[in-house]
Amino acid sequence: MNDYLKDFDVPAKHPSEAALRKWRDAVSLVKNRHRRFRHVADLEKRSIHQNRLRKIKEDLRVTFMAMRAAMRFIDAAAHPQNVHEHHQPRHVTFSEFTNNPDKLASMVRNYDVKTLRSLRGVDGIAEAIDVSLDEGIKSSELSIRQETYGINKYTEKPSKSFFMFVWEALHDLTLIILIVCAVVSIGVGLATEGWPDGIYDGLGILLSILLVVTVTAVSDYKQSLQFKDLDKEKKKISSHVTRDGYRKKISIYDLVVGDIVHLSIGDQVPADGIFISGYNLLIDESSLTGESNPVNIDEKKPFLLAGTKVQDGSAKMLVTAVGMKTEWGKLMETLSEEGEDETPLQVKLNGVATIIGKIGLVFAVLTFLVLTVRFLVEKAMHNQFSSWSSSDALTMLDYFATAVTIIVVAVPEGLPLAVTLSLAFAMKKLMNDKALVRHLSACETMGSSTCICTDKTGTLTTNHMIVDKIWVSGETKDVRDNEGRVLSSKLLEGVSNVLLQGIFECTGSEVVKDKNGKKNILGTPTESAILQYGLDLGGDFNATHSEIKMLKMEPFNSAKKKMSVIVALPDGQIRAFCKGASEIVLGLCDKIIDRNGEAVPMSEEKVKVVTDVIEEFAVDALRTLCLAYLDVEGGFDGQQNIPERGYTLIAVVGIKDPVRPGVKEAVGTCLAAGITVRMVTGDNINTAKAIAKECGILTVGGLAIEGPEFRTLTTEQLNEIAPRIQVMARSSPTDKYDLVKHLRGMSEVVAVTGDGTNDAPALHESDIGFAMGIAGTEVAKEQADVIVMDDDFATIVKVAKWGRAVYINIQKFVQFQLTVNIVALMINFVSACLTGSAPLTAVQLLWVNLIMDTLGALALATEPPNEGLMKRPPVKRTDSFITKTMWRNIIGQSIYQMAVLFVLNFAGKPILNLHGSNATAVLNTFIFNTFVFCQVFNEINSRDIDKINIFRGMFSSWIFIGVMISTVVFQVIIVEFLGTFASTVPLDWELWLLSIVIGFVSMPIAVVLKCIPVEKAAVKQQHDGYEILPDGSEQV
């Protein structure tokens, strides 16, 4: 079958438009395009949308460039005597902006600096909209501000109602043909048999169609609700604001005009606003204008636009426009629902459905031709060819309806839809397990992952950091005792002062008080740990900040691995502070504070002492940072760069970040599942190795390497050692990207975690990108496929487990459905050829279709994962989806069922001792009943493709149990009470029991089949037992 599926192959991530169009063109037989292609991208809409988006972005880009050019011209033309003109109100008044959202929005959108200056800048705007830049808005004003200025939400397309899904389900071509047949049957029946006998056959088909459409619509509608809930979760973005004098975290949808928003690296600007204060703010406006060059924002260029990203620096901004008053809101309104790219499994199963559908169509046509030819021959033999009655027309109509129903059964429209159902179910469950899947394909791909490149901090560790040790004035001091209590640290006053200055000034975090007066630290865990240590020493954060004036700040980023500030002390001294990775800061220092608190030259001997201390801390699994200062002579101009050398080392700080509970077990689960775990961290190599050993990542024969060494390796060397790399320390985001790219080139399926802005390229390059929900930036989340909402490595393992469950569940469903298809096709076709009648009527086949399609998908595609899934190797990209084991089970069960049904069809009356006028009706009912119970028990058999114990976990899967019970109950109703419509007659208890027994026999047959060995493909091995996956060019 793989040769026929070559057109149905797309990559899991970033497929080309040509690949997407290729498989669509190959799908030649579709019963219901509305339903089949509901969960795939609409390429025509996408193309229209992208063209429209490009035009809007280009218009915005040109407009903004023109406005900025005008601003530069105005600034250049300004005369010295007019420097303070902007403090004098001219033609603009405050009242024009009070309660006037359009005027506020227009000023920011049009980059109207002239108007802003005439209003005394951001202070004047704050006065106009009645807000304090220090205290923020009052919570009691929220509703009034929302009414006046609008809410921060965008116009969205309304979701489909249930009746829309009913309408789409009715677009099935075969069902439409059957409806026409049913109506004709009722018309002819009424003319020949009268009321009510003439309507039963047609009404039975209509009722069956109604049942199929209702169940299909309910299933699809519930799926849509799941996707709607997931979509809401995807759009949840938080922002830090100052309200009621306190800093707090809120949803961006709760922002109002007047809010004071705090921005940092990786944040999305949540609304239009004006710059209040900040350092080195660099904004990426590409999402809005398509312009790749970032823009510096400061007092001279103060306007910030919603939807843009903070590339560097930090700032506070005043919100001036929200929701549909912003350019971003208008841009969001133009976005159409063109759909998400389909997953490889969806595409592959579309191919399977197409192939089987073609086969079914041939059988349906042959069945109709055979029945028709036999009927015509019989009429000719009885010399009745020239005389036609309405009953003859009904017979021909029944033949046609049976043939159409065979197409209904034969075209497995539910195969690709079962993937969507399974993925939706898995995504809903994973959301409860703190994993938000942003892209359908990610869950599916994770089931095939062979490698996870994970961060250390916050993923393998708790991210609850505390300062455990400090080396200062030549001594190592324990900060806490064994019970975690703070120990007193006696430091010389001069050393203590400069240390506290460095801690409180060289930080991007804040110490704030809540409503109860309790101190809280807002910032990264590392910064929070150091600030807390400063508070434990008796320092006063706010007092230090009020005494010292900040002149310039260079915030921390993962490329520089340090942050620097320059301040003016109360006595006028200009002092720079630097904090960051130990070896980086140590390299900037040429002096050190000795035991006497004096700054002395940094000799080679002292460098070795400090290096030994850093290594000692690292071996104890502590993160190490250095603090240093530099007194700057001759003043400082804000345009100058902060000095990069000549610093004096103050201290080496050792920060403890405990390993998360359960991480070692989760890593062990990965290794047992054939998934290699690699730690990629910016920490010291000794710290990384200690944590990796504690987690079970670094094993005997594994390799720990540093980023600088990794960068020097050739491709040949990388090919040799990449499989053995288990730890990469002191790595940059570029190192992570290069490692991921190389591993993918070796045919590994790579998952990677990231939280920072600079992790975005690696997340984009990987097969599955995981962003951290707590520590992750919005930029990282936007590039990720899955957001780990609790930042826990164990959650990533849950995604892998569910990914494998999705794959195996779809395999179970395909095995079950193909068995039903083969048997239903063969029994009707062979019977038609030999006896001139089909034992399964149109109504019965519609019920069988419901069992094997919608209900079968519900039962088998929603099975939860079991532990055994993580004890087998990952599925390779080139593995055949329908395996030899599945073919063994399909063929075995089909032979058994066909043997039983053919015997009953051709010799059932004597075997069952059936006599009388209704013997044929009883036999056909018994065949139908037996066929259905064979499917019920085979559905249970399909719960495990290769294991004998198919009952494991069955009774905890309430969906499976519910489907089984519903199927049996409705089968009883059809046979016993709906015979008039379904062409059945009631059966006695012996025949019921025999039907059940015949169905049950398929279970021991399944046991026998599973004992038959199937050929296993040979696996190529490399040194150290590393398995090389097929490169994609090999045939499966």
Catalytic machinery residues: 455
- Neighbour count for residue 741 (Cβ, 10 Å): 14
Matching residue, tokens 């053995």: 724
Angle at 539 between CA 538 and CA 541, to 5 degrees: 145
The CB-based long-range contact list for 635-644 (8 Å cut-off, 24+ gap) reads 635/574, 636/551, 636/552, 636/566, 636/568, 636/574, 638/551, 638/552, 640/552, 642/552, 642/554, 642/564, 642/565, 642/566, 642/576, 642/578, 643/576, 644/588
DSSP string, 63-125: HHHHHHHHHHHHHHH--GGGTTGGGS--S--GGGTTT-HHHHHHHHHTT-HHHHHHTTHHHHH
C-alpha to C-alpha distance for 275 and 277, rounded to whole angstroms: 6
User: Which two structure tokens, joined as six digits, stand for 482?
Assistant: 């064994």
Contact 245/136 with Cβ under 8 angstroms? Answer: yes
HSE (side-chain half, CA atoms, 13 Å) at 446: 35
Phi, then psi, of 714 in degrees rounded to 5: -80, 170
Cα R_g (the chain), whole angstroms: 36
User: SS3 letters for 266-333?
Assistant: CCECCCEEEEEEEEEEEEECHHHHCCCCCEECCCCCCEECCCCEEEEEEEEEEEEECHHHCHHHHHHH
> What whole-number distance in Å separates Cα of residue 29 and Cα of residue 9?
18
Query: Residue 436 forms beta bridges with which residues?
Result: 787
Phi then psi dihedrals of residue 619, to 5 deg: -65, -30
Distance CA 573, CA 107 (A): 41
With a CB cutoff of 8 Å and minimum separation 6, the contacts of 107 are 97, 115, 116, 320
Q: Which of 579, 597, 596 is nearest to 588 (CA)?
A: 579
- Distance between CA atoms of residues 471 and 626, nearest Å: 9
- Among the listed residues 1016, 438, 323, the one whose alpha carbon sits nearest the alpha carbon of residue 771: 438
- Rounded Cα distance between 4 and 533, Å, is 66
Place of tokens 């059988």: 363
* Other Cβ atoms closer than 10 A to 185: 26
User: Cis (ω within 30 of 0) for the bond into 196?
Assistant: yes
Answer for the pair 798, 816: CB distance below 8 angstroms, yes or no.
no
- Biggest distance spanned by C-alpha atoms of the chain: 125
**Distance between CA atoms of residues 799 and 751, nearest Å:** 11
Q: Are 307 and 776 in contact (CB under 8 A)?
A: no
**Is the CB of residue 477 less than 8 Å from the CB of residue 489?**
yes
Which pair of structure tokens corresponds to residue 264?
Answer: 């940092």
CA-angle at 289, arms to 284 and 295, nearest 5° = 35
- Bridge-partner residues for 268, per DSSP? 309
User: Can you point out the beta strands (E) in 166-219?
Assistant: none
Q: Which residues pair with 398 in a beta bridge?
A: none
